[in-house]
Structure 1
């Protein structure tokens, strides 16, 4: 059998070296692009939390969505669950108080309140709060709302809020989760 003989010369060595350097550069470029993509996703990560503010001295109570993340959170859906029955908040004009009144009609007598809708598509900017139910300046209304909410929670009132980032990553937060749970 004949032996294959390589004829190495300076041109072949330089050509192979140039191709090797180009290949290594391509691998590094792909790796850096992957890192930049991951960094971009992390730089717009919303982190929603439902917060209650209860101040008996001022007779004020509020429910708010806080976004502790670094990007906007866009609401997709709000589902309330009571007695094992899920109800989409759109059935109540995306407002929490009409839903609560459907569970406890005595709440219909609350007069000093402000509400905001939790419509699909509402964007909550990073490091901001969105108040969707507030009662203040009335001891009667404060006592009525707080006692009804406490009683309903004891009876199993739950919520699930699904939201997404501008990168279309989806999360769900509920009163039974320790924080946002990534979906998909």
Structure 2
């Protein structure tokens, strides 16, 4: 092989290597850009059960918030007891002391913006109608359940968050391939249910 042929082969090899490096750099830059795009809309759903009292009312309920940087698209919500789905919350509502006002908000299909929160269930009693011990007993019954929420980002990246025993969800959400949308909303199903209709009312939270 002559010197000229060697030079041409060396140039060809260098061209192939240069092309391969350019392709790799373009791929890596695309990967970084995609990661940045996903990171810019990363939702973080947190679940918190609460009890509170004012000079006039005693309250308990559930709060769902988004502490991430992108909207959280809620696809599935389940209440679990011992790891198994609870089909109806009505038996737990039956344990509320009478005289309450029940407020609710649907979650399925909702988009929670960064920094926003939804209260899917809130129960209020006039302070003269219930003792703090009665309210805490009702809250204790609800604390037997976990809340599981499956949600997605606008890029269809999905996670499952669990509120343990109706408490604050502090564990990192688990990544899942997709969320199967719930056919019914367990909180919306309570809209027309009260175990003593004469003394209890329901209202939808905006």
TM range (shorter): 0.7 to 0.9
For the residues of structure 2 that align with 1:36 and 1:81, how far apart are their CA atoms? 38
Assess if the C-alpha contact under 8 Å between 2:92 and 2:141 holds in 1: no
**Structure 1 8/83 Cα, relative in aligned 2: closer, same or farther at 3 Å?**
closer
For the residues of structure 2 that align with 1:162 and 1:29, how far apart are their CA atoms? 34
Which residue does 1:109 correspond to in 2?
Answer: 98
Using the size of structure 2 for normalisation, the TM-score is 0.66
User: For this pair of structures, how many residues does the alignment match?
Assistant: 168
- Answer with 38-47 or 24-33: which moved more: 24-33
**Displacement after TM superposition at 1:148 (Å):** 1.0
Q: How does 1:122-133 map to 2 (within 5 A)?
A: 122-133=110-121
Which residue does 2:157 correspond to in 1?
Answer: 169
For the residues of structure 1 that align with 2:85 and 2:13, how far apart are their CA atoms? 66
**Displacement after TM superposition at 1:52 (Å):** 3.2
For the residues of structure 2 that align with 1:78 and 1:142, how far apart are their CA atoms? 31
Q: Based on CA coordinates, which of the two structures has the bigger radius of gyration?
A: 1
Give RMSD over aligned pairs.
3.0
**Displacement after TM superposition at 1:56 (Å):** 2.2
Which residue does 1:149 correspond to in 2?
Answer: 139
**Structure 1 137/84 Cα, relative in aligned 2: closer, same or farther at 3 Å?**
closer
**Structure 1 142/115 Cα, relative in aligned 2: closer, same or farther at 3 Å?**
farther
**Structure 1 171/65 Cα, relative in aligned 2: closer, same or farther at 3 Å?**
same
**Structure 1 28/136 Cα, relative in aligned 2: closer, same or farther at 3 Å?**
same
Assess if the C-alpha contact under 8 Å between 1:81 and 1:87 holds in 2: yes
Unaligned segments of structure 2, at least 5 residues: 178-206
Secondary structure of the residue aligned to 1:109 is coil
**Structure 1 181/72 Cα, relative in aligned 2: closer, same or farther at 3 Å?**
same
